[in-house]
Amino acid sequence: MYTINEFCTLTGGEEIGCKTDGNVLCVETDKELTFRTNQTQGFLAAYSFTIVTEGWLTLQYNGKRLTLQKDQLYTYSPGLPVTILSASDDYRGICLIADENYTLEIPQVRKAIHSSYFSLVQLSEPRMQLSPDDSRRLQELMRLAIQYCSPTHAAVQSDSLRMLYALFLTDLTAVQERTIRQHRFSRRVEDVFLGFQHLLPKHFMEHRDVGFYAAELCISPRYLSRVVHSVSGRTVVDYVNRMLIAEAAYLLRQTSLSITQIANRLGFAEVTTFARFFRRMKGMNPREYRKMGD
């Protein structure tokens, strides 16, 4: 998959390449610039958040055709294929792109994950209608990020972008929760899904089975699995594994704990089991991943 720097080289060159430190890129976009992203075929090792500010945009996302209108937010998850199909001549948007590992490792995001789970793509459809107030607030944060991506803020760029990105995700999480409340799902389904979301960050290291979370919510494992999949398009196990790999990545890069100690902390009985899990999720073993951050 392409890194942010590679994405800039392929799609923007000097036009936007100077506005990123390789971890975060935020840019105002139009029809011409958006079509350039097709050169990467959508395969980015990053999360991307785009708000349409004028006109409309149609794209193919993971095999599904989506049309985005003004004040709609499109969230891209790393590794999924995307193709821009068409756009109005007056299309304008604002886009924030953040490296996947950077997202999972920065302390502010990790703290937020543990206090209220960040499901960066909570709903099965990556398109969300924003209220005018929500759209304006998120755009304000994104435009601040554009300012701090500038070389003129180099001295404080890294810390400022971390804080702005964490604040953006915090606000987005609140918007997503309100969106679920306003969705077509019944109140019971909403309560079960959000209840699971709040249980997960407290228990994912000790409990990985559907039965535990179902028991805590006083429902059957089958019903919990059906609810989670109907709302998010994902499984309970997928949610648990994403939490585990995020924590593992943080501990490997940000602490001096041995791989054995990390495996024990995350509840793996054997370090070899942890290593197999990590390779399956990240495509490399824990030692290789740790060396990449040196």
Give the burial class of 255: count Cβ atoms within 10 A of its Cβ; 0-12 exposed, 13-18 middle, 19 or more buried.
exposed
The closest alpha carbon to 161, from 178, 180, 143, 148, belongs to: 148
pLDDT of residue 121: 42
pLDDT of residue 189: 87
Tell me the one-letter amino acid at 161: L
CB 44 within 8 A of CB 89: no
pLDDT tens over the chain, length 294 residues: 677 777 777 776 555 544 566 788 888 999 998 898 887 765 677 888 999 999 999 998 767 899 999 999 998 877 667 889 999 999 999 999 988 777 766 665 565 555 544 444 444 567 888 999 999 999 999 999 988 877 666 667 778 888 888 889 888 878 877 776 666 667 788 789 888 988 888 899 999 999 999 999 999 999 999 998 887 777 899 889 888 887 888 888 888 999 999 999 999 999 999 999 999 888 889 999 888 765
Give me the domains of the chain, ranges plus CATH numbers. Answer: 4-182 (2.60.120.280), 185-294 (1.10.10.60)
pLDDT of residue 161: 86
Residues 6+ apart with CB under 8 A from 42: 61, 76, 80, 81, 82, 83
C-alpha to C-alpha distance for 291 and 179, rounded to whole angstroms: 40
pTM of the model: 0.68
Q: How many helices (H) and strands (E) does the chain have?
A: 14, 8
| β 57-61/127-129 pair status | unpaired
C-alpha to C-alpha distance for 107 and 18, rounded to whole angstroms: 25
Q: At what angle do helices 187-203 and 157-182 cross, to 10 degrees?
A: 150
